[in-house]
Amino acid sequence: MSAENVADFDLVIVGAGLAGAALALAVADLPLKVALVEAQAVREGWPPIDESVFDYDARVSALTEASRSFLEGVGAWSDIASRRACAYTDMDVWDGEGTGRIHFAASEVKRAALGHIVENRLINASLINNLRENGRVKCYFGTPVDTMSRHQGLISLQLAGGKIVRSPVVVAADGANSKVRDWAGFVTREWDYHHHAIVATVETERPHGKTAWQRFLPEGPLAFLPLPDNADEQRYCSIVWSVKPEIAEQLMLLDDDDFCRELGAKFEHRLGAVVACSRRFSFPLRQRHAADYVCDGVVLLGDAAHTIHPLAGQGINLGFQDAMVLAEECRRACDRGLALSDTAVLSRYQRRRKGGNLAMMAMMEGFQHLFETPAMPLRLLRNTGMRWLDSALPLKRQIIAKAMGLSDKPQ
Ligand SMILES: Cc1cc2nc3c(=O)[nH]c(=O)nc-3n(C[C@H](O)[C@H](O)[C@H](O)COP(=O)(O)OP(=O)(O)OC[C@H]3O[C@@H](n4cnc5c(N)ncnc54)[C@H](O)[C@@H]3O)c2cc1C
């Protein structure tokens, strides 16, 4: 291999999705040589922001206050907030099979909002634009990593086109089907939810009231997440509809009018009729968790370490917390003159992140089973429990704080 074809770094991040790009920005100002490698071409500037069901990104994230504050800390939030984000003030959750209902309000915890719904492409554009402006991270875009090998304490990644990047530490932020994770031999525990999530943007007859709506059905949860619009008519929502794969297949085959009718009925017409719908996408849902996050200089981040049911919208929120903690550990190592590959540095990251991620995944699994079970005693328990919880303000405050990624103490 010729010397000009090889580049050496202190840290290489594979994957410029939300988690990888956020980590790159969070470590950009450290005294480290960092590279970010992304398989896909990455557009320059901002995505167009028009207003119709066809122009919103079908992939959105419900960002917690903890994630918003992390994005603010790395300088990526103000650009997002000034373009398009919906601060939602309320959340309405109800049992599709009974009378149980819980309403959460930001006012109950003396906050202006419970969180923000933001299109993924906007978050990504803000992270990448800030990285480009900063200029300290070497970006290789449109160049997938093809192979990985190890030699004398360095991990070598061969990129499409022949370039080789080497580093003692490689972060796998290459998503749920991470190749870097598999090449490094990490063990994962995974299982199929037997659910597919259909996502789309819809227009509704009545305004969403800056409320995130979720109906739990035995076949899976259905969420309507409020989207922002300039005139504040509040008619656009992003939907996440989890159903069995065979039902998803049928729903995907419906024409738009029939799909809107089915969707409106399943949502009990809480926002009136569903009047229009964008192109739909369907994702199979698998839960996956790596037994370890660190192995011989390779570190797992975001969906490469854990994928979780989208019912509580926590996936990228966990990924941003991973990025924040890993960046903190890199900073700590630099301050103390430690090499990033020092086992103590990376194992601190694993220790700080694994327990919390596992707990959130277990909670989501519990929720899914609770609402999937049609047996009468559980249905009664669910409905009585939800009604009781709705009136138990101190406990509700703790749940809201947890869901916002804040401390358990009421605000
Ligand atoms: C239907 C649905 C709804 C969701 N809603 C929410 C929500 O409301 N809130 C929330 O917090 N989370 C939500 N999630 C989860 C969230 O979308 C994911 O957790 C998040 O996108 C994962 O980000 P990531 O950066 O870890 O991985 P990804 O977004 O998958 O990024 C991985 C990147 O790595 C690149 N890559 C892959 N292979 C290579 C390679 N060989 N070389 C170089 N680059 C490579 C890919 O091109 C990609 O850019 C939802 C998920 C689903 C399926």
Q: Which domains are present in the chain?
A: 3-369 (3.50.50.60)
At 336, list the tokens. Answer: 């103390």
- Pocket lined around ligand 1, Cβ cut-off 6 Å: 14-20, 37-40, 61-62, 144-145, 173-175, 179, 197, 199, 240, 283, 302-303, 310, 313-317, 319
Helices (H), strands (E): how many in the chain?
A: 11, 22
Measured from the Cα of 62, ligand 1's closest atom is 8
pLDDT at 3 over 50: yes
Closest protein CA for atom 38 of ligand 1:
174
Report yes or no: 8 and 18 within 8 Å, Cβ to Cβ.
no
Please write the tens of the pLDDT for every residue from 33-65: 999 999 999 988 998 887 788 899 999 999 999
DSSP 32-69: S-EEEEESS---SS------STTTS-S-EEEE-HHHHH
Residue 90 to residues 154, 208, 227, 390, Cα–Cα distance (Å): 50, 10, 13, 13
Please write the tens of the pLDDT for every residue from 261-276: 999 999 999 999 999 9
pLDDT at 408 over 50: no
Give 365's strand partners.
none
Report yes or no: 305 and 290 within 8 Å, Cβ to Cβ.
yes
For residue 165, give the nearest of 330, 37, 42, 39 by alpha carbon. 37
Q: Report pTM.
A: 0.91
Of 266-275, 307-316, 325-334, 381-390, where does mean pLDDT reach its minimum? 381-390
Find the angle CA(76)-CA(77)-CA(80) to the nearest 5 degrees: 100
**CA–CA separation, 251 vs 247, rounded Å?**
6
Distance from Cα 302 to the centre of ligand 1, integer Å = 8
Measured from the Cα of 285, ligand 1's closest atom is 53
At 319, list the tokens. Answer: 């990924």
Distance from Cα 120 to the centre of ligand 1, integer Å = 9
3-state SS assignment for residue 291: coil
Please write the tens of the pLDDT for every residue from 90-107: 999 888 776 678 888 999
The predicted structure's pLDDT at residue 410: 37
The predicted structure's pLDDT at residue 388: 63
DSSP 127-188: HHHHHHHH--EEEEES--EEEEEEETTEEEEEETTS-EEEES-EEE-S-TT-HHHHHTT--E
Distance from Cα 283 to the centre of ligand 1, integer Å = 12
Please write the tens of the pLDDT for every residue from 193-236: 788 999 999 999 999 999 999 998 888 889 999 999 988 999 99
The predicted structure's pLDDT at residue 123: 98
Give 201's strand partners.
238
Distance from Cα 307 to the centre of ligand 1, integer Å = 9
235: left (phi over 0), alpha (psi -120 to 50) or beta: alpha
234 or 356, higher pLDDT? 234
3-state SS assignment for residue 216: strand
Distance from Cα 404 to the centre of ligand 1, integer Å = 20
In sign, the C-alpha dihedral spanning 395, 398, 400, 402 is negative
Measured from the Cα of 176, ligand 1's closest atom is 30
**CA–CA separation, 248 vs 45, rounded Å?**
35
